[in-house]
Structure 1
Amino acid sequence: MNVIVAGGGIAGLTTALRADALGHDVTLVSKGALGDGCTAHAQGGIAGVYGPGDSPALHALDTLQAGDGHGDSLAITALVDGAPAAIDALIASGVPFDRTPDGEVARALEAAHSRPRIAHAGGDATGAAISAALTHRVRTSPITVREGLFVADLIVDEGRVAGIRSIDGETLRADAVVLATGGAGGLYAHTTNPRGTTADGIAVALRAGAAVADLEFMQFHPTVLVDGGSFLVSEAVRGAGAVLRDAAGRRFLLDEHPDAELAPRDVVARAIARRAEEQGEPIVLDATALGATALAERFPTIDAELRRRGIDWSRQPVAVTPAAHYLMGGVVTDVDGRTTLPGLWAVGETARTGVHGANRLASNSLLEGAVFGARAAESLALPAPPARWPGSGPRHVHGREPDRAGTASGFSRRALQELMWEQVGLIRTEEGLRDALARLHAWRIPVAASPADQEDANLLTVARSMASAALARTDSLGAHFILSRALIGAA
C-alpha cells in the first residue's frame, strides 16, 4: 500500500515507522526539517508508566476529569491501555528515559494526575530525546523522506483522498494520506509553539470536506516566561514543588482550587491572567525552595536558558504568563485515526480523537501521538468498521472550500493573532466572539503565492472555524470560558 504521512513529530514519525514495519511503501513529507515541530520542544514527559497503586483505569479517570467530562471514553481507554506498549516501543527505539537507582523508568507527578506516572528523558528534554531517536530510525529506514514539501491541498477523486498537492504544484498520489502536521498555536499572539505551527493539516482537511470538532478548546499553558518569546517553564516544575505567588507573595491559587498549583491547566491559566490584571504586574513562579542543585539536575534545559538570560531561579522567582499551547480539537477521527473522508487519516494534535475532552491532561499529548500513530498505521489496510465519530452537535464544523470574499484591507498575520488573543483567547464574551467572526470573514483568504501566504490562508481558514465553534458553545466548559452577561454586569 502506498502511504503518505505529512508531519515529522512523534505522531507522524510513529505512523511512518509502524507502517513501514507492516510492509507499506511510505513517504514522509515535512514542511520543514524533521524535528522542527512541537515534539522536540516538549519539556514535559509522557504519561503511562504505571506503578504500585496505579492503573490504566485511574489514568483514564484523571484524563476524563481533566477534560471536564467531555472526553470520549472509548478513545481514552485506547490511550491508556496502549500506553505501556507505546513506551516500550520508544525505549526500543533508543529513547533514554530517566531511571531510578534500581534501573526502573522514573515516575514523576504532574498537574491533575492522581499518581506519579510521567516518564521524562534528560529531566526536561523528553520531547527532544523522542524526536532525536525516532528521526534517526526514520532516516536509517527504507522510508522516503521529503523535507521542505509543504502540503497545500488534498487530491480527492470521487469522494476519496488519493494524494496531496504541494504549494509548488507537485502532486503525489497515494492509497492513503495521514495528516500529522501539528496544531494551531500560530493563531495567537502569545504561544509556546514554534513559528511553523500554522494549523496546516486542519485547514487542508477542512478544504477537502472532512469534519472537524472541538476547535473552541485551545489550551493555554499557565507558565511561559514574560518577554521570553515562546519559552515555557514546564508544569513538572510545579509538580516538583514550585509555587505561584502574587505581588504580595501570596499563593493565591489556594483560593481557586483544592489542588492549587496542580489544578487543571485551564483553572491555573485563568487564575494567573485574572490576578495579573488585578495587580497590574505579572505573577511569579517561585522555585527557590527546590535549591540550585536540584533545579539544575532535574530541569537542565530550563535552568540553562534562565541562566543564559541572567536569571538565577534558585534565588529569585520568575515572572510568568499564560500562552496558547495545545489544541484539543481538530480533524474528527475514530480510535484508529480514520477521518470522515475515505482515504484520509489524522493523528497527533491535528486530530480530534476525543481523548483530551475540553482540557488536556498534562503529558498525554506525546502519549496520544505514539498510541494513535501506531493504531493508524495498523488500520491502513483493514476494512473500515461502521463509522463511529466521537461527539456530535454544534462542535462539528464540516469542511468546505472557504470563500475568498471580503477585502485584504487590514489583514496581516499579526493582526489575526492579536484579534484571536483578545477575543478568542483565555476569557471570551459573546460580543467579542461575534466581533471577531465578523472581522475574520471580512478579511479575504490570501492566495498562496508563497509558503508564508499559504500559512496565512491556513490560519485564517481555521480561525473562522474556531471562532464559529466558540460562538456556538454558549456555556463555559474546560478551556472554553465564556463570560456571561450577568458576570459582566456584576463586574
Structure 2
Amino acid sequence: MTEFCDVLIVGSGVSGLSFALKAAAFSSVTLITKKNSADTATNLAQGGVAAVLSVEDSVEAHINDTLVSGDGLCDVDIVRIVTTEGPDRVRELMELGVRFQRGRDGEEFDLGMEGGHSTRRVAHASDLTGREIERALLAQVAANTNIRVLENHLAIDLLMESKASRRGKGGKEGDRCLGAYVLDRQTGEVEVYYAGVTVLCTGGCGKVYLYTTNPDIATGDGVVMAYRAGAKVANLEFVQFHPTCFFNREVKNFLISEAVRGEGGVLINRQGHPFMKKYDARGDLATRDAVARGIDAEMKATGDDCVFLDISHKPADFLRERFPNIYATCRQYGVDLTQVPIPVVPAAHYMCGGVLVDEWGCSSITNLLALGETACTGLHGANRLASNSLLEAVVFAHRAVHWLREHIVAIRQLPALAVDPWRAGGAEVLDESILVTHNWNQLRQLMWDYVGIVRRQKRLDLIQNRLTFMLTEIKEHFFDYLLTPDLVELRNLAVLADLIVQSASLRKESRGLHYIVDYPEKNDRDFLRDTILQRPVPGR
C-alpha cells in the first residue's frame, strides 16, 4: 500500500506538533508516531521553556548564558536567532492554549531559575510543563481536518531518489527524500508513505544507555534513518546526563527538575555535606555537564550509590505548590521532600548532536528536515543550557514552516518516481528472547560502563570491537526474518551506539559533555569544530 501527502512528519513531540499545525494551513499533513501521540519526551519535560520574558532580562544575557554552556561550539548566529525569536514563539503557545504559571503579583509569567542561567527566565506550568504543552498542541491537532495522525506506526527507513525510478526507466543518482517505509505495529505490514517533504521529529537516544530519564520511544530512530540515507550527522559524542534522576529501583526514568536547584536545592553527600563547590565555583547552579561530573566524582570518592538533593529548608507549602508532581511522586515512594533530602543519580537525558541542519531545519538531503532533539542546529554546542530545548523546538518548527511555504509549489511540481515495496524478510519469526533481549541489555550496559560521563580511549576501543560484531549479527537477522518493532529499534540503537563511539573517539580533547581522561584539556586549535559523520554510500 502506498500513501501520498505533501508533508510526512515522523514524531509527535512539541516540534512535530508545532510544525504540523502551521504547515496544515497550506498543505496536506500526515503525522506518524510509533506508539501513542502523548508518548514523547516533551510529555516528560518538567522544567519549562527558557526565553526573555521579563524587562529584567535581555537577549544578550540569554545569548551569553547559552554560549558559556555550549563551551565554544555553539553557532553564534543560530543562538541569536533562537533567543531573539523565542519570546514570540512562547506567546504563540499561550494563544494555542498552553497555561503557563502566572506571577503572584500579576506578572505575565512566573519565571523559574535553573542552572547556567544568569537570571529567572524559564516559563513553566508548575513542574509539568511538557505535559501541558503536549496537551494543548494535541487538542489543536485533533481539531484540524488537514492533519492525519497515525498512532502505532514506526518509520523503518527513508525512501530515496537514488533507490527509485522515474517512470520505470531507472533513477538518476541523487539524494532527494521521497518519504519513508513505515511499519504498522498492529497489522505487521510495511507501508510506503510518499511525501514531498519528510520531517524527522523522533526525539533523542536515551534508551541506548542503561539509566535514562527518557521515555521508551527514545531509540534515536530519526538520526539513524537519516544517517543510513546519507545525511550528515554531527556532535553525537555530546550526550547530556541529567544530574538528578530520582534514585529508586521501583521508579523508571523520573527526573528531579533542575528547577529544584534553581529554587534553592543543595546537593549533599550521605554525610550531609554540600560538595559541588569542590568541583565548580558555581556550585549547585553550575551547568549540567559540570554538575553531572561533580556528582559522578563524589559517588566514586565515597563509594555510595547516590547523592542527595536537599530542599527541605524551604517552606513546605511553597514546595508542594511549585513542585506538585515531584512532591507527589517522591512521597509515593517514601520520600517527603519537605522533610528529607531526595536520593538522586545522573542519567542519560538529552542528545545535543543529531542530524545536521541549517537555519531552516533542512538537512544535507533535499526535502528532508529534522527538528527538535533529532536535529543538530548549532544552538547547544557541547552542552545544552537548561530549558533551551523546548525553545529550540518551537523556533525551528516555525522557521521550517516558513521554508516549506516558500518551496511547496516547486516541490509539488517534481516528477513522481516509482518506489519499490519493502523487501520483506523470510516467513520465520525470530526468537526475540535470544537476539533482541540479550543484545539490547548488553548494548545498554556497555554504553553505560564505557561511554558515560567520564570516558577513556581504551574503553572506547573495546566497545567499538564489540559493536562491530553486534551490528553484523543484527543486520543478518534484520533481513532474514519477519520484521518486528523491537528488531527495528534494536537495529537503530546499535547503529547509534556505534556513531556515538566513533564521534567520541574522534574528539581527542575534553569539552562540555565529552570528558575523556586521556585528553583532559580543551584543544581549541584542533577541535573547535563540529564532529561530522556521513555514510559514504546511501542505502540500507
TM-score with structure 2 length normalisation? 0.83
Amino acid at match of 1:53: E
Amino acid at match of 1:99: R
Describe how 1:466-477 pairs up with structure 2 within 5 A: 466-477=500-511
- 8 Å CA contact 1:18–1:378 kept in 2: the answer is no
Q: Determine the structure 2 residue equivalent to 1:25.
A: 28
Q: Does 1:288 align with 2:303?
A: no
Describe how 1:256-295 pairs up with structure 2 within 5 A: 256-281=279-304, 282-295=306-319
Q: Does 1:320 align with 2:356?
A: no
Q: 1:129 aligns with which of 126, 132, 135?
A: 132
SS of 1:310's partner is: coil
Shift of 1:408: 6.5
Q: 1:219 aligns with which of 234, 240, 265?
A: 240
- 8 Å CA contact 1:238–1:262 kept in 2: the answer is yes
Q: Residues of 1 paired with 2:208 and 2:267: CA distance? A: 27
Amino acid at match of 2:300: E
CA displacement 1:14-43 (0-9 Å, x = unmatched): 11111112x111111111111111001001
- 8 Å CA contact 1:242–1:285 kept in 2: the answer is yes
Q: Residues of 2 paired with 1:365 and 1:53: CA distance? A: 22
**Gap change, CA 1:437 and 1:410, over 3 Å in 2:** farther
Shift of 1:285: 0.6
**Gap change, CA 1:304 and 1:430, over 3 Å in 2:** same
- 8 Å CA contact 1:49–1:107 kept in 2: the answer is no
Q: Determine the structure 2 residue equivalent to 1:484.
A: 518
Q: Residues of 1 paired with 2:520 and 2:453: CA distance? A: 18
Shift of 1:248: 2.5
Shift of 1:46: 0.3
Q: Does 1:87 align with 2:114?
A: no
Range with greater deviation from structure 2 (415-424 or 102-111): 102-111
CA displacement 1:223-278 (0-9 Å, x = unmatched): 01112321110000000001001123221111222210100101100110111121
Q: Does 1:42 align with 2:40?
A: no
Q: 1:114 aligns with which of 113, 118, 133?
A: 118
Q: Determine the structure 2 residue equivalent to 1:152.
A: 156
Structure 2: 5+ residue stretches without partners: 162-173, 184-188, 409-433, 522-540
Q: 1:77 aligns with which of 77, 80, 89?
A: 80
Amino acid at match of 1:81: T
Q: Determine the structure 2 residue equivalent to 1:413.
A: 440
Shift of 1:485: 7.3
The aligned length equals 463
Q: Residues of 1 paired with 2:491 and 2:115: CA distance? A: 36
Q: Determine the structure 2 residue equivalent to 1:175.
A: 196
Q: Determine the structure 2 residue equivalent to 1:306.
A: 330
Q: Determine the structure 2 residue equivalent to 1:54.
A: 57
Shift of 1:410: 9.8
Q: 1:9 aligns with which of 10, 13, 32?
A: 13
CA displacement 1:373-431 (0-9 Å, x = unmatched): 111111114359xxxxxxxxxxxxxxxxxxxxxx9699511100000011111110010
Q: Which has the larger radius of gyration?
A: 2
Structure 1: 5+ residue stretches without partners: 385-406
**Gap change, CA 1:294 and 1:161, over 3 Å in 2:** same
Q: Residues of 2 paired with 1:409 and 1:336: CA distance? A: 37
CA displacement 1:292-339 (0-9 Å, x = unmatched): 211100000000101111211111111110000000000000011000
SS of 2:24's partner is: helix
Q: Residues of 2 paired with 1:246 and 1:62: CA distance? A: 28
Q: Does 1:427 align with 2:451?
A: no
Q: Determine the structure 1 residue equivalent to 2:415.
A: none
- 8 Å CA contact 1:220–1:426 kept in 2: the answer is yes
Q: Residues of 2 paired with 1:68 and 1:357: CA distance? A: 7
Q: Residues of 2 paired with 1:56 and 1:87: CA distance? A: 14
Q: Residues of 1 paired with 2:175 and 2:266: CA distance? A: 53
Q: 1:199 aligns with which of 209, 212, 220?
A: 220
Q: Residues of 2 paired with 1:308 and 1:290: CA distance? A: 20
Q: Residues of 1 paired with 2:320 and 2:43: CA distance? A: 20
Q: 1:166 aligns with which of 157, 173, 182?
A: 182
Amino acid at match of 1:465: L
Q: Residues of 2 paired with 1:268 and 1:226: CA distance? A: 16
Q: Determine the structure 2 residue equivalent to 1:353.
A: 377
Q: 2:211 aligns with which of 171, 179, 190?
A: 190
Q: Determine the structure 2 residue equivalent to 1:389.
A: none
Taking only the aligned residue pairs, the percentage that are identical comes to 40
Q: Residues of 1 paired with 2:405 and 2:160: CA distance? A: 19
Range with greater deviation from structure 2 (277-286 or 457-466): 277-286
Q: Determine the structure 2 residue equivalent to 1:63.
A: 66
Q: Residues of 2 paired with 1:35 and 1:408: CA distance? A: 29
SS of 1:377's partner is: helix
SS of 1:442's partner is: helix
- 8 Å CA contact 1:50–1:56 kept in 2: the answer is no
Q: Residues of 2 paired with 1:291 and 1:365: CA distance? A: 30
Q: Residues of 2 paired with 1:351 and 1:236: CA distance? A: 25
Q: Residues of 2 paired with 1:280 and 1:39: CA distance? A: 34
Q: Residues of 2 paired with 1:88 and 1:442: CA distance? A: 50
Range with greater deviation from structure 2 (471-480 or 54-63): 54-63
Describe how 1:343-422 pairs up with structure 2 within 5 A: 343-382=367-406, 412-422=439-449
**Gap change, CA 1:110 and 1:410, over 3 Å in 2:** closer
TM-score with structure 1 length normalisation? 0.92
- 8 Å CA contact 2:372–2:392 kept in 1: the answer is yes
Range with greater deviation from structure 2 (441-450 or 188-197): 441-450
CA displacement 1:352-386 (0-9 Å, x = unmatched): 001000000000011111111111111114359xx
Q: Determine the structure 2 residue equivalent to 1:234.
A: 257
Amino acid at match of 1:311: V
CA RMSD of aligned residues (A): 1.7
Q: Residues of 2 paired with 1:300 and 1:213: CA distance? A: 37
Shift of 1:192: 0.1
Q: Residues of 2 paired with 1:410 and 1:117: CA distance? A: 43
SS of 1:290's partner is: coil
- 8 Å CA contact 1:224–1:322 kept in 2: the answer is yes
**Gap change, CA 1:363 and 1:93, over 3 Å in 2:** same
Amino acid at match of 2:284: E
Q: Residues of 1 paired with 2:436 and 2:128: CA distance? A: 43
Q: Residues of 1 paired with 2:207 and 2:6: CA distance? A: 31
Amino acid at match of 2:109: V
SS of 1:80's partner is: helix
Shift of 1:486: 8.6
Q: Determine the structure 2 residue equivalent to 1:98.
A: 101
